[in-house]
Amino acid sequence: MYDRDYYHQRYLNLSFGLSAEKRRSYLFKARTVALQKVLPKPELILEIGCGVGHMSKYLARLPNRPCVHASDLSEDALGLARQYLKDEDNIRLHRLDAHALPFQENTFHVITAFDVIEHLSQPSRFAEEAFRTLCLSGILMISTPNPASLGYRIKSHNTERPGQSFAERKLQWFGFRDDTHVNVRSHSSWRKLFEKAGFERVRDGSDFWWDVPYFKWMPMLIQRFIFTATHIILTKIFYFLPWKFGENYIAIFRKPA
């Protein structure tokens, strides 16, 4: 399921001559800025679902050079990450299941799960494990597809034939485009799940509109200019806003002191 082809289609492809990392660098930077606003100098970070390691590098290069434990369920992902992160001496790679974290209680200052919880069959177990392994006042950051988004409203009726590649499914909403997404939920459902595990919500909301094309009748280049460019600008300024209509639900939770 999560083999090399899976990661090459999503995270190692070129578009307009730019790598996926360069195309998303604004997002990685925005995440680190948002983290520093709530916890300026985290010393120990656990990244769930590191994939090929793009976000891991940005976490490891925070000003205080924290120790980052980057993890993934896929050995193929870790093989790619190992190669990509070979020059980063403050990153440790782990193969693990997010439902059962092999760490002691009160270990980490930060846990991140970007584009991960929609893949989990039992996200409540992950929430409990994250709460257990975070230090008091520790921070959990997540992002996941948002079914209240513009893209869902416009594109959710589009179905795709089995066997089509990820790139061929552009008219399908991105939350459904990946067949490994088994848990797509509303804002309120995710809030309740993490609050039930013991977390307090610091801030949540959603990002913006970037899942082009939205309209068959509008040229792709125009849609990229209107939606993607606006998304990049707003992400750099705000990261996310307290509204319900962006493509991803984004939240920051804290383990109470």
209: domain CATH number?
A: 3.40.50.150
Q: How many domains does the chain have?
A: 1
The C-alpha atoms of residue 90 and residue 101 are separated, in whole angstroms, by: 20
* Predicted confidence (pLDDT) per residue in 86-102, tens digit: 999 999 999 999 999 99
Q: Within 13 Å, how many C-alpha atoms sit on residue 146's CB side? A: 27
Span 98-125, mean pLDDT? 98
170 or 133, higher pLDDT:
133
CA distances from 25 to 16, 54, 68, 203 (A): 15, 9, 18, 23
The C-alpha atoms of residue 247 and residue 257 are separated, in whole angstroms, by: 32
Q: Which amino acid is at 238?
A: F
pLDDT at 232: 96
* Predicted confidence (pLDDT) per residue in 30-41, tens digit: 999 999 999 999
Name the residue with tokens 């939350």.
175
Nearest Cα to Cα of residue 99 among 138, 143, 129, 62: 129
Render the burial of 176-197: b for 16+ CB within 10 Å, e for the rest: bbbeebebbbebeebbebbeeb
Question: Phi and psi of 75, rounded to 5°?
Answer: -70, -30
The C-alpha atoms of residue 184 and residue 176 are separated, in whole angstroms, by: 9
111: helix, coil or strand?
strand
Range of the domain at 75: 4-254
The C-alpha atoms of residue 117 and residue 101 are separated, in whole angstroms, by: 14
CA distances from 216 to 155, 172, 222, 223 (A): 11, 12, 12, 10
* Predicted confidence (pLDDT) per residue in 27-84, tens digit: 999 999 999 999 999 999 999 999 999 999 999 999 999 999 999 999 999 999 999 9
Helix H segments across 51-186? 54-60, 75-84, 123-133, 150-155, 174-177
Distance of CA 49 to the CA centre of its chain: 8
**DSSP category for residue 56:** H
Residue 160 has pLDDT above 80, yes or no: no
pLDDT at 231: 96
* Predicted confidence (pLDDT) per residue in 178-205, tens digit: 889 999 999 999 999 999 999 999 999 9
First to last CA, the chain: 39
